[in-house]
Amino acid sequence: MKDRVILAYSGGLDTSVAIGWIAEATGAEVIAVAVDVGQGGESLETIRQRALGCGAVEAYVADARDEFAEEYCMPALKANSLYMDAYPLVSALSRPVIVKHLVKAAKQFGATTVSHGCTGKGNDQVRFEVGIQTLGPDLKCIAPVRDLALTREKAIDYAEKNNLPIVTTKKNPFSIDQNVWGRAVETGFLEDIWNGPTKDVYDYTASPEFPPAPDVVTIEFKKGIPVAIDGNAVTPLQAIEELNRRAGAQGVGRIDIVEDRLVGIKSREIYEAPGAMALIAAHKELENVTVERELARFKKTVGQRWTELVYDGQWFSPLKRSLDAFIEDTQQHVNGEIRLELHGGRATVQGRRSSSSLYDFNLATYDEGDAFDQSSARGFIDIYGLSSKVATERDERVASNEAK
C-alpha cells in the first residue's frame, strides 16, 4: 500500500494543485480534507468533487460550524480575547478545529503525513504543525508552498497543463481568510502601511459613514454564553451569525492594525468581525456587573495570556488547558442581559440587568436610602495610605541626615 498524505483542502487554486504536486513529489496518495468553519462560499459537496477531480484518492469533508462556534469561539468570548487589545482571533481560532479533523482523517485513512498550504513566514504554519504533532505525535508534516517550492505561478501553469477543474485566470489582489468569527485580509496594496483600505477590502461590514437607523439588540447570557437575542433562543453559532448580520450592517467590527506575528515580523492586517466585537463588548460589560473586582483584575491578565497562547498556536498546551479551567470558573455568575445600540461602526452598551449582579443600588446611590457608611472612609484611607506615608517620612529623614 502506498503512503498517504492528508491535505488541508480549501478548494482554491493552491490546494487543488497541491494534490498532484504532492503526489508527484512524494509518490504518495493524497486525501483532501475540507472543514467548514463558516467561511461561506461553495458547498462542501462541490469542494469534495473538485478534490476528487484534481486527483485526490479520497475526500473527507466536515461541517464543523457548530463545533467551531461552541468549542472555540465561546472560550474566546469568555476570555474577552483580543490580540494586542484590538482584534478577535479570527484565523488562530479556526486552526485547532481544522487540525483536529486532519488528525482524525489521518487515523481513519492510515496516513503518515499531513500537509497544509502555509508559507514559511506566517503564523499558520506554526499553528498547524504544533497542533498536528501534539494530537498526532507520529505524523509528519509538509507544506508544498514552503517545502516543495510551489509558487502561484507554478500552480497556475500546473493547473492549466493538467486541465484541473479550477479557475486560474482571476487573481484576487488580497489574501483572505474568513470564518464565522471574522474575516482577515492582507497583501496587495495593503502592504504599504500608508495606504488606506478601499471599500472593496470589506465584505462582512457596510460602511459606517452612512449607517441605517440605530439597531438596538438585547443579548442574554448564561455562564458567559449568549443564549437569546431579543428574547429568542439561539445557539452560539446562531448568535454569532445574527450579530454578524446586524452589527455588520452598521459597520461594526472594522479593524486596521500592524500586528506582531509569531515569526518575528510585523504585518499589516485588515479585520472584519462584527459579531465577535459586538458579543465581546456585551460580555465584558456583563462581567463588569457580575464579577468581583480582584477576580476581574486577575482575569484580565489571564485572558491576555490565553490570547497570546492561542495566537501562538498553543491551543492544545497544558497551560492553555489550565487557563481554560480558571476562565470557566469565573463565568459561573456571568448571567443576565445586555442591551446594545449598534450604529455608525459602534456597539454601545445602553442597559444591563442580572439576577447575579454585584451592583447594589442602595450602596451606589447618593440619594435617599444610601446604605453606605461614610464614617468608615476616614479610617480606611488612613490605613490604605499608611505604607506610603511611612516611606515618605523615611525618605525625608534620610535626606535630612545626608544634608548634615
Q: Which residue in 147, 175, 177, 356 is the catalytic one? A: 175
Give pLDDT, residue 122.
85
Q: How far apart are the C-alpha atoms of 182 and 169, rounded to whole Å?
A: 27
Give pLDDT, residue 135.
97
All 3 cell numbers of residue 138?
507520529
Give pLDDT, residue 323.
98
Is 138 considered catalytic here? no
Q: Which residue has the higher pLDDT, 365 or 123?
A: 123
SS3 content of the chain, % helix, strand, coil (to 5): 45, 20, 35
Q: Does 329 show up as a binding residue in the annotation?
A: no
Q: Does 149 show up as a binding residue in the annotation?
A: no
Give pLDDT, residue 349.
98
Q: What is the CATH number of domain 4-171?
A: 3.40.50.620
Is 124 considered catalytic here? yes
CA 11 from chain centre, in angstroms, equals 22
All 3 cell numbers of residue 109?
485513512
Within 10 Å of residue 297's Cβ, how many Cβ atoms?
Answer: 10
Q: Would the pLDDT of 92 be above 80?
A: yes
**Pick from 238, 256, 201, 230: which is nearest to 38 by CA?**
238
Q: Does 401 show up as a binding residue in the annotation?
A: no
Q: Does 215 show up as a binding residue in the annotation?
A: no
At residue 150, φ and ψ (nearest 5 deg) are -90, 100
The chain-wide mean pLDDT, for the chain, equals: 93
Is 175 considered catalytic here? yes
All 3 cell numbers of residue 115?
500537509
Against a cut of 0.75, is the pTM above it? Answer: yes
**Pick from 55, 41, 66: which is nearest to 7 by CA?**
55
Strands, E, within 26-125: which ranges? 29-36, 58-63, 113-115
Q: Which residue in 48, 65, 95, 268 is the catalytic one? A: 95
Q: Please say whether the beta carbons of 145 and 33 come within 8 A.
A: no
**Over residues 132-160, mean pLDDT:** 88
Residue 226, classed as helix, strand or coil, is: strand
Q: Would the pLDDT of 168 be above 70?
A: no
Give pLDDT, residue 365.
81
Is 115 considered catalytic here? no
Q: Would the pLDDT of 163 be above 60?
A: yes
Q: How far apart are the C-alpha atoms of 1 and 129, rounded to whole Å?
A: 25
pLDDT band at 187 (very low <50, low <70, confident <90, very high): confident
Q: What is the CATH number of domain 176-291+333-353?
A: 3.90.1260.10
Give pLDDT, residue 172.
63
Domain boundaries, the chain: 4-171, 176-291+333-353
Region of poorest pLDDT, from 59-68, 105-114, 153-162, 233-242: 153-162
Q: Which residue in 4, 36, 65, 124 is the catalytic one? A: 124
Which residues are within 8 A (CB) of 122 and not within 5 positions of it... i.e. 6 or more apart? Answer: 261, 263
Q: Which residue in 4, 14, 36, 81 is the catalytic one? A: 14
Q: Does 198 show up as a binding residue in the annotation?
A: no
Q: Does the CA dihedral 287-293-296-297 come out positive or negative?
A: positive
Q: Does 110 show up as a binding residue in the annotation?
A: no
Q: How far apart are the C-alpha atoms of 60 and 71, rounded to whole Å?
A: 21
Q: State the DSSP H helix or E strand holding residue 300, giving kind and residue range, or none if neither.
A: helix 293-311
**Pick from 32, 37, 29: which is nearest to 12 by CA?**
32
